[in-house]
């Protein structure tokens, strides 16, 4: 998800404000230490103007990179 933030020119703080997800909570979720809820994923997708599938695909790729 970090690359999507960079591509969109967003900071984590700006995404936090736009989505209503607390900054520290968003940081944990982006780092993979906590799972996003469906509502949070939808809010992030809307803020970044991407399909929610892009976020899910991004997370799946990250997980497979660390396990395989």
pLDDT per residue over 38-54, tens digit each?
999 999 999 999 999 98
CA gap 10, 35 in Å, rounded: 21
CATH class, domain 2-67, is mainly alpha
Q: Half-sphere exposure (CA, 13 Å, Cβ side) for 66?
A: 7
Q: Which residue ranges of the chain lie beneath pLDDT 70?
A: 58-68
Q: Chain-centre distance of CA 38, in angstroms?
A: 11
Report DSSP state, residue 20: T
pTM of the model: 0.79
Give start and end residues of each alpha helix (H) in 1-68.
Answer: 2-8, 12-19, 23-30, 38-48, 52-67
The Cα-based distances of 48 to 45, 60, 65 in angstroms read 5, 18, 24
Map out the domains of the chain as residue ranges: 2-67
């Amino acid at each position: 998800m970090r690359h999507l933030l960079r591509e969109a020119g967003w900071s984590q703080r700006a995404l936090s404000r736009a989505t209503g997800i607390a900054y520290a909570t968003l940081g944990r979720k982006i780092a993979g230490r906590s799972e996003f809820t469906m509502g949070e994923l939808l809010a992030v997708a809307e803020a970044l103007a991407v399909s929610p599938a892009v976020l899910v695909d991004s997370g799946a790729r990250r997980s497979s990179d660390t396990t395989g």
